[in-house]
Copies of this chain bind each other. A is one copy, B any other.
Amino acid sequence: MPHAITKSHSSEAVAFHKFNIPDTLNPGHVTVKFLAAPINPLDMLVLADRYPVKPAHHISGNGVLGYDGVGQVTAVADDVTGLAPGDIVVPSRFGLGTWRTHAALPASALQKLSEAPKDMAFAAILRITVAPAYCLVEDMAPLRPGDWIVVNAGTSAVAQMVTQFAAMRGVRVAHIVRDRPAAELAAVKNALLGLGAGLVLTESELETGDGLAQLQALSVALALDSVFGKAGRALVKALAPGGTYVQLGFLAGPNAQLALDAADLFARNLTMKAFRGTAQLGLRSPAQQRELCDWFVRMFNRGDLKLPPLGLERVDWHVADPAAAEWSVKGAVEIARAGVLGQRKQVLVFKH
């Protein structure tokens, strides 16, 4: 029997459901068994009712959580032509509800991968980690070889993918990471430098001004801020004239403020905006989005793109054992919600 994790429509509680999918498929529909689905910061925003795109699928009135993931088609309605049983698929839009073992879905909600990824965890983060990192490097500012990007929350999976896409363009990335014990910091720095990062600084190195001076000596054309507040202001100050600041999130909390000086926009000619993954992907046609994901998978399969070395922890979801699944998945959600320093991105791996 399929099961799923939903968000109560009246609170931030998560619920575990057993449910049935219909025996006969509606026209245009397919059934899918999910193989893997990440727990993203975005999912925590959805849980807190702070994300504009709401869950599109519901069980007992509760929205099915999970906005990214990968599945395998198990059956298709007679009129479906683009998909066949065995195909590997990812969501073609946000809000699909991937934190479930099985689903009956319109074929139009899914996008087939033309090549199966060597590791399903990579396919599971295509939409919300890999594609956004690509769009951040590609769309937010004109970048030329020699330019730098500065990114905070520098151990995040997105930051680690940004470094890889930037390297393909001859652009280096400075990662700002939170302060942590020396041994752990050394491990983090090594992992990021090994991935191609140009520089790794801690928040306090940045705030005491020495790190800021290091950054200001470079040509920092793009700042990617997931923190906001004081940390975001430091990124604004690090930008070279004509640079672009992009807000990805607000880990500093909803009440943090970022103070601008008169000189930031006017004298240094900065631009400030937010990043919306949906909007950026939406600049590409559905065919272009498919090509993009296929290209990511091809690069991953031949080793030119890597899974974030700092970033993944696999959480098993045993389909045959709903009680164990409920316990491990709800626990994983609580871990994600707590946002403890050093916590790696969790990926739910469905054991069918």
Q: Are A276 and B269 in contact (CB under 8 A)?
A: yes
A249-B262 Cα distance, complex, nearest whole Å: 8
A257-B260 Cα distance, complex, nearest whole Å: 5
Residues on B with C-beta less than 8 A from A258 are: 259-260
Q: Are A257 and B256 in contact (CB under 8 A)?
A: no
Residue A252 at the chain B interface, CB threshold 8 Å:
yes
Residue A274 at the chain B interface, CB threshold 8 Å:
yes
Partner of A272, one of B254, B255, B263, B272: B272
Q: Taking the nearest CB of chain B, how far is it from the CB of A66, in angstroms?
A: 22
Residue A250 at the chain B interface, CB threshold 8 Å:
yes
Q: Are A247 and B266 in contact (CB under 8 A)?
A: yes
Residue A265 at the chain B interface, CB threshold 8 Å:
yes
Residue A23 at the chain B interface, CB threshold 8 Å:
no
Q: Taking the nearest CB of chain B, how far is it from the CB of A21, in angstroms?
A: 35
Q: Are B262 and A272 in contact (CB under 8 A)?
A: no
Residue A273 at the chain B interface, CB threshold 8 Å:
yes
Residue A350 at the chain B interface, CB threshold 8 Å:
no
Residue A228 at the chain B interface, CB threshold 8 Å:
yes
Residue of B nearest to A249 (CB): B266
Residue A321 at the chain B interface, CB threshold 8 Å:
no
Residues on B with C-beta less than 8 A from A256 are: 262
Q: Taking the nearest CB of chain B, how far is it from the CB of A45, in angstroms?
A: 10
Residue of B nearest to A51 (CB): B267
Residues on B with C-beta less than 8 A from A272 are: 260, 265, 271-273
Residues on B with C-beta less than 8 A from A267 are: 50, 52
Residue A261 at the chain B interface, CB threshold 8 Å:
yes
24 CB < 8 A contacts A-B: A228-B262, A228-B266, A229-B262, A247-B262, A247-B265, A247-B266, A249-B266, A253-B262, A254-B262, A254-B263, A255-B261, A255-B262, A257-B260, A257-B261, A258-B259, A258-B260, A259-B259, A260-B272, A265-B274, A269-B273, A269-B274, A271-B272, A272-B272, A272-B273
A256-B262 Cα distance, complex, nearest whole Å: 6
Q: Are B269 and A271 in contact (CB under 8 A)?
A: no
A267-308 contact mask (Cβ, 8 Å, vs B): 1 or 0: 101111110100000000000000000000000000000000
Q: Are B262 and A252 in contact (CB under 8 A)?
A: yes
A267-B273 Cα distance, complex, nearest whole Å: 11
Q: Considering the complex, which residues of chain A in the window 211-269 have a beta carbon less than 8 Å from any beta carbon of chain B?
A: 228-229, 247, 249-250, 252-263, 265-267, 269
Give the 8 A-B CB pairs with smallest separation, nearest first.
A250-B262, A272-B272, A265-B274, A271-B273, A247-B265, A257-B259, A258-B260, A266-B274
Residue of B nearest to A255 (CB): B262
Residues on B with C-beta less than 8 A from A274 are: 265-266, 269-270
Q: A229-B262, A250-B266, A260-B272 are in contact. List 19 more A-B contacts (CB 8 A).
A: A50-B267, A52-B267, A228-B266, A252-B262, A253-B262, A257-B259, A257-B261, A258-B259, A258-B260, A259-B260, A265-B273, A265-B274, A266-B274, A269-B276, A270-B273, A270-B274, A271-B272, A271-B273, A272-B272
